[in-house]
Amino acid sequence: MKLSLIGGAIASFGLFANVAQAETEITFWHAMGGALGETVNAIAEDFNASQSEYKLTPVFKGTYEETLTAGIAAFRAGEQPNILQVFDAGAATVIGAKGATVPVQDLLQANGVDFDINDYISGVRYFYADSDGKMIGMPFNSSSPVMYYNVDALEAAGVTPPKTWEEFQSVTAPALKDAGYTALAQSHLPWIFTENFMSRHNLPFATNNNGYDGVEGTKILVNNDAIKNHFKAVQQWQQDGHFEWFGTGWGDNQTPFEEGKVAIWLGSSGSFGGLSQKDLGFDFSATYLPYWEAVTTEPKQTFIGGASLFAMAGKSDAENEATAAFFEFLTKAETQFFWHKETGYVPVTTAAYDLAKAEGYYDEAPAAEVGIQQLSLPAGDNTKGYRMGFYVQIRDVMNREFGRILTGETDVDTAFGKIEDEANALLARFAKTQN
């Protein structure tokens, strides 16, 4: 009798304790500034309002690089957030550090959330997965490079958006030049003209299955004729006044397109939101990245850029449960559609894409669909992405050498030789950090 009373007291105490700490609080460090940050905050508020068990606090930590560095420093001090946003180039670093994160697939399954990797759009699916196809990071803000064009300029020149680079150089560019435009600019040479060049033409980018099968002995395969010929063509276009390069900064190359000086600009599908909010003074639209017919007659899909969310290790089961709940909320079709519409980033699941179609979103904004359509084109052996360590520095090396090509400081062959040497040296160094 007494025992059961005590037992009851303990039970009710436990119950009370549960009520007292009803909300499990989790933190989310991200790199989404400005309008993007406000959208992240809106999603967090919706999540907090949708249930009463968990409370998510998003924290803006600066650029992608700063966010990753802050996350690493915090992890080493045992103060890591529950969720860390890591960008594409940092994926190898965070995935390589086994024990730093809980694979998102394991996390979701352990917490009873239905998970099927095939629910995700094909170009999104495996970028943040391991070599067995297990999803490690949850794709979040995902974008793909697409070709934006000034509709008025192309009409004035009497041309249609080029499907191939051959068409661009023989038809589109000369006509645009006669109409008074610089035909082409782009905003990210490593991403658009290198990584996605490989994917679009289904060329291997690195050994070891593009780096997914392990760091040991991974070598970059960037020094090949297809891409070198592309850069030689770009150089020629530049001399002919068909292409202009405004530096490594993203915005410096986007501005001339917005000012109507450049007719075609290669940017991110995620740039759509920003472009549509501006009063450009001309109509713009978008379509797929051109490809070289000389290289392939069956162009493939591109893969995503942007960033994904990682569940950091070393957290309690209760907090992991909250993280899983947030991921579930985030991948819901409604949340994804909201994110897609607000920012221009692609919806990562087929369900969200179907919802956007059903809501008639693409009837009012057809250009918003291009990124996701391009990500859903046929896949090839080399279209799921790449996994290379110290990739931020490899990109810096590419940017440096590409800049030198376009300022006439070096020639294409020398530059690609240097990129190959320095990238391989960096990959070998990275392999040594993983022992």
Partner 1 sequence: MKRAGFTTHWLPILLLMPQLSIIIVFFYWPAAEAVQSSFYLEDPFGFGSTFVGLENYTDLAGNAEYRRIAWFTVIFTALVTFFSLALALLLAVKADKVIRGARSYRTLIMWVYAVAPPVAGFVGVMLFNQSWGPLTRAFQSLGHDFVLGVNYSDTAFAMVLVSVWKQVPVNFIFFLSGLQSIPKSVREAALIDNRSASGRFWDVTFPLLAPTGFFLLIINITYALFDTFGVIDTLVKGEPGNNPMTLVYKVYVDGFRGNDLGGSSAQSVILMVLVLALTVFQFRLVERRIHYT
Using CB under 8 A as the criterion, which residues of the chain lie in contact with partner 1 when the complex forms?
A: 63, 65-66, 68-69, 72, 75-76, 90, 93-94, 96-100, 245-249, 251-252, 255-256, 259, 390, 392-393, 396, 399-404, 406-407, 409, 422, 425-426, 429, 432-435
Exposed, middle or buried: residue 131 (CB in 10 Å: 0-12, 13-18, 19+)?
middle
305: buried, middle or exposed (CB in 10 Å: 19+, 13-18, 0-12)? Answer: buried
Q: In terms of CB distance, is 86 or 322 closer to partner 1? A: 86
Name the residue with tokens 């379509």: 287
In whole angstroms, the minimum distance from the beta carbon of 58 to partner 1 comes to 22
356 contacts 279 by C-beta, under 8 angstroms: no
Shortest separation between residue 105's beta carbon and partner 1, angstroms: 20
- Residue number, 381 or 413, with CB nearest to partner 1: 413
The minimum distance between CB 16 and partner 1, in angstroms, equals 39
- To partner 1, the closest distance from the beta carbon of 396 in angstroms equals 6
Integer Rg of the chain from CA: 24
Q: Which is nearer to partner 1, 300 or 387 (CB)?
A: 387
- Choice between 175 and 405, CB closer to partner 1: 405
CA-based nearest residue to 188, from 277, 87, 285: 87
Q: Which is nearer to partner 1, 37 or 403 (CB)?
A: 403
Nearer to partner 1, 152 or 396 (CB): 396
Query: Are 164 and 176 in contact, with CB atoms under 8 Å apart?
Result: no
Nearer to partner 1, 224 or 399 (CB): 399
- 8 A C-beta contact, residue 328 and residue 335: no
- By beta-carbon proximity to partner 1, the closer residue of 134 and 432 is 432
Q: How far is the CB of 329 from partner 1 (least distance, A)?
A: 27
Which regions of 362-402 does DSSP assign to beta strands (E)? none
> Residue 305 Cβ, how far from partner 1 at the closest point, in Å?
15
CB of 8 to partner 1, least distance (A): 47
Least distance from partner 1 to the Cβ atom of residue 404, Å: 5
Q: Which two tokens stand for residue 167?
A: 């068409």
Write the CB contacts of 310 (distance below 8 Å, at least 6 apart in sequence).
Answer: 83, 84, 85, 86, 94, 100, 101, 104, 136, 137, 138
| 8 Å CB contact between 137 and 87 | no
Task: Name residue 150's beta-bridge partners.
Answer: 284
Tell me the C-alpha distance between 304 and 290, whole Å. Answer: 17
How is residue 375 written in tokens? Answer: 């990500």
